[in-house]
Amino acid sequence: MSGDRPSPLVIERILRDRESIWQQIVAERDLNALTGRMLTSSAIALACYGAVLGFFHSPLMALTSALKLPLLFLVTLVICLPTLYLFNLVFGARLSVRQSLALVMVAITVTSMLAVAFAPISLFFLITANDYGFFKLLNVSILTLSALVGLRFLTSGMQVLNDHGLLAPEAANAKVDGQAGAPAPVQAVPVAVPAGPTPAAVPVAGQSAEPVAVPAGAAVAESTANGAVTTATAPAQVPTQPVAASFPPGMLPPGYVAQRPWDGRGVRRGEPTQRPASMTLLYIWILLFGFVGTQLAWTLRPFFGDPGQDFSFFRSIDGNFYAEILRIIGNL
């Protein structure tokens, strides 16, 4: 499934061929259609799961929960998306609004589809264990687990965009410039010298003091302090490398002697690159998304419907989501 073929099962493409989703977002190709399909699929899945939640109270509560659960995710996205987009702009990322929206919709689609996959389990406990506190805690856990998996897809997508230089273009350009300006590898070239007992290496006055790598068995003239020239011969091992062969530092072939001890130092490769600021801010945004979503869920309650109370579309705003969860755990 490499192409974006029209299908209501967009989740199948996300799970089976996620690389093509990331590439489509990077290329900003046909994102309106992709985002629309993800929005439709998410709304249907969340409506189905919301209906299961509301059935604990009554069919009317099931209908209202089927409307409110998709509304919860959509309003949370509307509230938090501008923050994500502006965070990226402030730190030099090149994400467009459509790319940001598509990335977040991938996470919401995965979350909603996982939640609806848990719907039969939730329905099973609704029938066999008719306990209001346990049913609420079970479904909050299901939604939390689904959201964590969905947000993992969001961070994966951001990593792909970072690899393409959309999150930290300045760092990517600096890396390319650094590679272009890197010094050439050491070139080890045998030096032809007349045969005889000759030796090595003190430069004559006025010549460069930079030592060179010489093959074993070659003779090099040396100037002493009083002007006399002496010679020395390296061990008689003739190199077989071509004359103009280039070798990186520390990788001289047998028969060549590095005159400087620091010539053989290793080059550190694969050093970890610094994480872009926009990736760090993504994790902050995820926390913000979670806080906004949970507080909005508390504002839009009831989703389950307390069987000891009459039906109501909304409840009065008092307390908060986290205090209610702790109270439920304490009552269990």
Name the β-bridge partners of 219: 233
The chain-wide mean pLDDT, for the chain, equals: 74
Q: Using omega within 30 degrees of 0 as the cis cutoff, is the peptide bond preceding 302 cis?
A: yes
Q: Give 204-219 pLDDT, tens digit per residue.
A: 444 444 444 444 444 4
Q: Give 251-295 pLDDT, tens digit per residue.
A: 555 554 444 444 444 434 444 445 556 677 888 889 999 999 998
Task: State the Cα–Cα distance between residues 292 and 83, nearest whole angstrom.
Answer: 12
Q: Which residue has the higher pLDDT, 74 or 187?
A: 74
Q: For position 248, what pLDDT does the model report? A: 53
Per-residue pLDDT, averaged over 96-118, amounts to: 94
pTM to 2 decimal places: 0.65
In eight-state DSSP terms, residue 243 is T
Per-residue pLDDT, averaged over 54-65, amounts to: 92
Task: State the Cα–Cα distance between residues 256 and 276, nearest whole angstrom.
Answer: 43
In terms of DSSP H, where are the helices of 252-332?
A: 277-300, 321-331
- Output the six-digit token pair for 332: 């269990």
Q: Please, are residues 115 and 46 in contact by the beta-carbon 8 Å criterion? A: yes
- Output the six-digit token pair for 145: 């687990």
Taking 90 as the threshold, does the pLDDT of residue 62 lie above it? yes
Taking 80 as the threshold, does the pLDDT of residue 189 lie above it? no
In eight-state DSSP terms, residue 192 is -
Q: For position 130, what pLDDT does the model report? A: 80
For 250, phi then psi, to 5°, come to 85, 5
Q: For position 255, what pLDDT does the model report? A: 52
Q: Give 212-263 pLDDT, tens digit per residue.
A: 444 444 444 444 445 554 444 445 444 444 444 445 555 555 554 444 444 4
List the single range of 23-27, 234-238, 320-324 with lowest mean pLDDT: 234-238
Report residue 76's pLDDT band, with 50, 70 and 90 as the boundaries.
Answer: very high
- Start-to-end Cα distance in the chain: 47
Work out whether the CA dihedral 149, 156, 72, 43 comes out positive or negative: negative
Report residue 34's pLDDT band, with 50, 70 and 90 as the boundaries.
Answer: very high
